[in-house]
């Protein structure tokens, strides 16, 4: 079993002067869910190398058993510091695809032709694909074979307008996932802010927020089994 995880290379939080990137827990929890299931995990990002970590995700309040495990795991730290370039991997080499969130993907992966083509290739190959928190936003330009939006008419979730308001970034992000998905004709669903909430629509798995990250990974593994 071979898993491809795609991380952001974007580090600037709009024009605020603050930093963003990927959210540590949304990487660590799925990473170990996959590894503990015996999977080979390959990490990629648009620029390759070390993806930018959202500094807020490294604060004490947001640490979990899995983030502590990562910080004590030199092999995982090395793998993260040496991600391959996104444009060097092919769908045929992997069994499933997973995107961790953090705000970074809204800027780079959502607009990346390489990312869009990769997701479309996995979907056409009928392989499970998973996205958590802000990462579902990378689906905004992804098309189904029909040429319509991949998420049109499909059950999906992602970071809610309420959660974005809670972190005071409603006017900073390039788009709001909830609004964007509804505009694209998706059957957007959500649970309570910050509580685990995972939506499965066939082999498309989406999670609402950081608390949903391990659940998305486990849903992908259940399909693969």
Instruction: Encode pLDDT of 85-127 as tens digits.
Output: 999 999 999 999 999 999 999 999 999 999 999 999 999 999 9
Strands 204-207 and 187-188: unpaired
**Mean pLDDT in residue range 160-186:** 98
pLDDT for res 142: 98
Average pLDDT over residues 65-79: 98
| SS (HEC) of the chain | CEEEEECCCCCECCCCCCECCECHHHHHHHHHHHHHCCCEEEEEECCCECCCECHHHHCHHHCCHHHHHHHCCHHHHHHHHCEEEHHHCCHHHCCEEEECCCCHHHCCHHHCHHHHHHHHHHHHCCCCEEEECCHHHHHCCCECCCCCECCCCCEECCCCHHHHHHCCCCCCCCCCHHHHHHHCCCEECCCCCCCCCEEEECCEEEECCHHHHHHHHHHHHHHHC
- Is residue 197 very low, low, confident or very high in pLDDT (cuts 50, 70, 90)? very high
Query: Is the pTM for the entire model greater than 0.85?
Result: yes
pLDDT band per the 50, 70, 90 thresholds, residue 55: very high
Mean pLDDT (the chain) is: 98
Position 147 scores a pLDDT of: 97
pLDDT of residue 15: 93
| Confidence label for 129 from pLDDT (cuts 50, 70 and 90) | very high
| CATH at residue 103 | 3.40.50.880
Query: Could you give the percent of the chain with pLDDT greater than 70?
Result: 100
Q: What pLDDT sits at residue 60?
A: 96
Tell me the percentage of the chain whose pLDDT exceeds 90: 100
Rounded to whole angstroms, how far apart are CA atoms 7 and 44? 6
Mean pLDDT, residues 71-94 taken together: 98
Indicate the pLDDT class of residue 155, thresholds 50, 70 and 90. Answer: very high
Mean pLDDT value of segment 72-78: 98
Mean pLDDT of 35-59: 98
Structural domain boundaries, residue 109: 2-224
Q: How many domains does the chain have?
A: 1
**What pLDDT shows up at residue 201?**
98
């Amino acid at each position: 079993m071979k898993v491809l995880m795609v991380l952001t290379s974007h580090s600037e939080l709009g024009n605020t002067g603050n930093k963003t990137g990927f959210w540590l827990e949304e990487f660590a929890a799925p990473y170990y869910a996959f590894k503990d299931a015996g999977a080979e995990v390959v990490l990629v990002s648009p620029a390759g190398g070390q993806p930018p970590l959202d500094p807020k995700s490294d604060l004490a309040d947001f640490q979990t058993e899995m983030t502590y495990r990562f910080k004590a795991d030199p092999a995982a730290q090395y793998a993260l510091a040496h991600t391959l370039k996104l444009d060097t991997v092919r769908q045929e080499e992997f069994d499933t695809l997973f995107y961790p969130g953090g705000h970074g993907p809204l800027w780079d992966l959502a607009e990346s032709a390489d990312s869009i083509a990769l997701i479309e290739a996995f979907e056409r190959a009928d392989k499970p694909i998973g996205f958590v928190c802000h990462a579902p936003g990378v689906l905004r330009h992804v098309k189904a074979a029909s040429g319509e939006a991949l998420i049109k008419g499909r059950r999906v979730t992602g970071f809610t307008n309420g959660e974005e308001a809670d972190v005071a970034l409603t006017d900073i992000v390039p788009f709001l996932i909830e609004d964007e998905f509804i505009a694209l004709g998706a059957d957007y669903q959500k649970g309570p802010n910050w509580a685990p909430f995972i939506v499965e629509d066939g082999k498309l798995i989406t999670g609402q927020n950081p608390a949903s990250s391990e659940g998305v990974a486990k849903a992908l593994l259940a399909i693969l089994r």
